[in-house]
Amino acid sequence: MAIEFSKNYLVDKINVGLDFFKKNTKLVLGYVAGVLVLGLIISGYFYYRLGLEGRAQKDFVLALEVYNSKVIKTVTDEKLGVNEFKTDADKWMAVDTTFERMYKKNISAGMAPFFLAYRVEALFNLNKLVDAIDVQKELIKKLPGKSALKPYNIVKLALMQIDTKIDERVKEGLDGLTKVGYDSNSSAQDSALYYLGEYYFYERNFKEAANYWNQLVIQFGKNIEYPSIWVELAKPRLKTIVA
């Protein structure tokens, strides 16, 4: 049956739509149902993420209570209250286990790397440097690729690796620092150049130390709008080499 067109443009379009709907009812209803299902999935995921992040934040606050706990060395174990410890080691072990548990519980949350950051500090205070390095590596993997925190954490990892004084790990740390130090797009480039200079300074390789500190002064010194604080740290030490 032919469509009866009216002289009204809007009515014409409505009638065309109605005719299409009559001929393709199943197709249209299927499409509408698909859109509704997709909308429900998207909104459901949104509320899921919202709840996930909310639970992670609550767990983080609970974990911080352990981190901020007191060490009271003058009382007996029986008199210790909640989140009170007799030794620093007891406190940091509790911090490590608490943040590890909370991380596993909230591993899919956006703030999961923050749980790892506190684990790194706890392990460092327990003199478990190699374990801290492993957790720091995991932290870096969890950070988004474009996170402003990522390059600073790469520098931190490199310094930890150098501190092990294990040749293989030291080399890995220097490679990491060098990569950041030559990355002009990295927000941590200046700190990487400073620490490279510092490493070679203590190794008494003053030529290499001067090389990196000179690069730092040239690239981040007074000729730019906001000079780097690392330049101010490098300058007096650079003078001792030149002298």
| CA dist., res. 197 & res. 241, Å (int) | 11
Domain count, the chain: 2
pLDDT digits (tens, 9 = 90+) for 190-213: 999 999 999 999 999 999 999 999
C-alpha distance from residue 190 to each of 85, 172, 227 (Å)? 40, 19, 10
Beta bridge partners, 70, equal 84
3-state helix, strand, coil in the chain (%, to 5): 75, 0, 25
The reply to whether 65 and 158 lie within a common domain is: no
Boundaries of domain holding 179: 143-243
Short-list 153, 147, 149, 152, CA closest to 135: 153
The reply to whether 79 and 111 lie within a common domain is: yes
Assess if residue 133 is contained within a domain.
no
How much is the average pLDDT of 101-119? Answer: 90
Assess if residue 101 is contained within a domain.
yes
Assess if residue 138 is contained within a domain.
no
- What angle in degrees, to the nearest 10, is found between the helix axes of 167-181 and 189-202? 140
Q: Tell me the backbone φ, ψ of residue 81, rounded to 5 degrees.
A: -90, -170
Q: What is the pLDDT of residue 169?
A: 96
pLDDT top residue among 51 and 137: 137
